[in-house]
Chains A and B, each alone.
Chain A
Amino acid sequence: MSQVSTKRYLSKTAKNIKPSGIRRFFDLANQMEDVISLGVGEPDFVTSWNVCEAAYAAMENGYTAYSANAGLMELREAISGYLTKQFKLRYQPASEIIVTTGASQAIDLAFRALVDPGDEVLIHEPSFVAYAPIVQLAGGIPIPVEASAESAFKLLPQQLEAKITDKTKLVLLCFPNNPTGATLDETELGKIAEVVKKHDLLVLSDEIYAELSYDKAHVSIASIHDMKERTILISGFSKAFAMTGWRLGYLAGPEVFIQAMLKIHQYTMMCAPTIAQHGALEALTNGLEDVTKMVTSYRQRRNFFVKACNQIGLECHKPGGAFYAFPSIHKLGLSSEEFAEELLKEEKVAVVPGSVFGLGGQGHIRCSYAASMDNLQKAIERMDRFLAKRI
C-alpha cells in the first residue's frame, strides 16, 4: 500500500488556520460527566413548539425543495418587517436581504465579497472566535482592536481610529458582544460611526444578540445617520428564538454589496434549508412573545449571577446584553486556561477561558448564564469553594 503524503495535499490556508481555542477545552469538558456547564454559547430554552410545528407542516406540505437563492420571499418580507419594527431599519426584501445558513455563513459571505488579499479588517476584541479566521480565509488581515475591561469592554472610537491604516477596509462590530456582553448605545455608536465615515470604511455589524438587550433597547449602527449605505447587518434566529441547530441567519445591506454576496451564496450554499426557513417565518410571525419571556428570564439570571460573582470575589462588570458574564480572575494569578481547567477538574464547572476570545480576554472567563437558576446557584457555590482555597 502506497503511503500518501497528506501534508502535501493540505492547502496553505487550511494549514495556517489555527484551531479554535474553544475546541481543546470543548474536548476536555465534554468527556466529563455531571458537569455544570456555563460554557455554552446557546440558549437553554428549546425552540418554541409552534416553530417546530411549522417545520413539520412544511414537510407534510411538500416544501422540501430548494428555495430561491436569497431565501423564501415570505421570509425575507418578514425579516424586512421585523427589522423595521424592532430597529427602525428599512431593507428591500427582493434585493437587500439574503437568508443564510446561520449567521456564521453570513459573516463568511460578507468577508468573501468585500475583502481582497491584503485588506485589513478591524475587529474589536475580545470577540467571537470565528471572526479573525474567516477574515484570513478570505485573504484579509485581521487587526485586533482591544476593548478593555476598564471601559466595560465598550469599543472606544479613539482605540478604533488608532488602528486604521491605508489598507483598512472594514470594521467588524458585534454588540451586544460575545463574550463580554458589552453593548453600545446610540451616542457611543454615533462616535464610532464618525470614525468610520471619516476614513470611508464599511461596517460589518453582527447583531445576533440584538434582542437580548436588557437595560436599553438595542440600536443598530445601520440606523445612525448616513450609516445604512456603509453597513452590512448580520443577524439570525439562533440566539433570540432559541434555534441554534436550525442554522438560519441573514444579511441585510445596500443592494450592490448584497447582490455580490448572493453570487457567492448561490455557488457555494445554493440556499438555506427550506424547512428551517418555514420555521423561521413562524418565529417572526408569531414568536416574539416567546422572545420577550426568554429575555425576561435571561435578565433575571444576569442580575443574580453577576451580583453573586462580585460577592464571591470575581469582579464582574454588568453586561448590558447577550447571555454572558465576563468576570476577571486577575487576582488569582492564574491564566484563564489554568483557571478554567482547574475549576473543571476540581469542581466540575465548565467555563470558557477568556483568552480564546483574543486581546483583553486573558485574565477573564466567559460564563454563560443561559442555565437554570438551580444550576447557576450550584455553580456559584462551587466557584466560591474553588476561590476560597486560593484567595
Chain B
Amino acid sequence: MNEKDLEIAQILEGGARLSTDSIADMVELEKEEVEKIIKSLEEKGIILNYQAVINWDKAPVNGGVAAMIDVKVTPKRDIGFDGVAERIYRFPEVKAVYLMSGAYDLSVQVEGKTMKEVAYFVSNKLSTVDSVLSTTTHFLLKKYKHDGVIFESGQKDKRAVVSP
C-alpha cells in the first residue's frame, strides 16, 4: 500500500460519499488512477464496505435494540476460536464478533426489533451453539460515539462567519 493508496483509503473512511472526481482533485491524481486504486483496495479486501453511520434515535422509525454479549467458549480442536466465531457470525442477527482477551472470549454484537427477539436469539440460538459455555448480555441503552462519530455533540461550527 503506497502513500496515495493510504490517503485515498483515509479519505473514504472519513466520507464515502465524495465523488471520484473530488477525491482525484484532493490527492492530485487523474480520475482513472483513483478508480484503479479504489478497485484494487476493494479487491485486496482493504476496503470492505461503504456505510452510513446513522443515528436511529433521530430517525422517525421504531428503532430496534442492540446488545453486546460476552461469550465464554471452549475452543474447538484444530480450528480454535475461529471455527466457533464463524458459527456465531453467520447468524444474520449478529452484527459484529470480536475475539477478546480477558474475562471472556468473544464479544458478540446483536441487533433485533425488540428486546424479546434479542433474548430469544441468545437463549435459543447463541447459547445452544456447541462450545458456548456462558453468555452475559448487555443491552445498549444509548450511543454516544460510534465508528469515530460523536452522536450528540455540539458539533456545530462555533466560529464567527467572518474573522481576521
Residues on A lying within 8 angstroms of B by beta carbon are 20, 22, 25-26, 29-30, 32, 35, 37, 39-42, 44, 128-130, 296, 300-301, 303-304, 307-308, 350, 352, 373-374, 377
Contacts and interface: CB of A to CB of B under 8 A. Distances in A.
Contacts of B163: 22, 26, 39-42
Contacts of B27: 300, 303
B15 A39 contact: no
Contacts of B124: none
Contacts of B7: 296, 300
A352 B157 CA distance: 18
B26 A303 contact: yes
A307 B159 contact: no
A194 to B, nearest CB: 32
Given A373-B15, A373-B18, A304 B162 contact: no
Contacts of A30: 160-162
B164 A304 contact: no
Contacts of A308: 25
Contacts of A35: 161
A188 B10 CA distance: 35
A259 B88 CA distance: 70
A102 B76 CA distance: 63
| Range of interface residues on B (Cβ < 8 Å) | 10 to 19
19 contacts: A22-B162, A22-B164, A30-B162, A35-B161, A39-B161, A39-B163, A40-B159, A42-B159, A128-B164, A129-B164, A296-B7, A300-B11, A300-B27, A301-B26, A304-B26, A307-B25, A350-B161, A373-B26, A377-B22
Residue of B11, B163, B164 with most partner-chain A CB within 10 A:
B164
Contacts of B10: 296
Given A296-B7, A300-B11, A41 B26 contact: no
B147 interface: no
B24 to A, nearest CB: 9
B152 interface: no
Contacts of A39: 161-163
Contacts of A25: 162
Contacts of A37: 157, 159, 161-162
Contact of A32 (B18, B28, B161): B161
Nearest to A376: B22
Interface in B112-164: 157, 159-164
A27 to B, nearest CB: 9
Given A301-B26, A308-B25, A377-B22, A350 B164 contact: no
B160 A40 contact: yes
Contacts of A304: 22, 25-26
Given A303-B25, A373-B22, A20 B164 contact: yes
A26 B26 contact: no
A283 B161 CA distance: 26
A208 to B, nearest CB: 12
B26 A29 contact: no
Nearest to A357: B164
Nearest to B153: A46
A41 B164 contact: yes
A59 to B, nearest CB: 21
A44 B159 contact: yes
B100 to A, nearest CB: 26
A29 B161 contact: yes
Interface in B9-62: 10-11, 15, 18, 22, 25-28
Contacts of B28: 303
A32 B162 CA distance: 11
Contacts of B161: 26, 29-30, 32, 35, 37, 39-40, 350
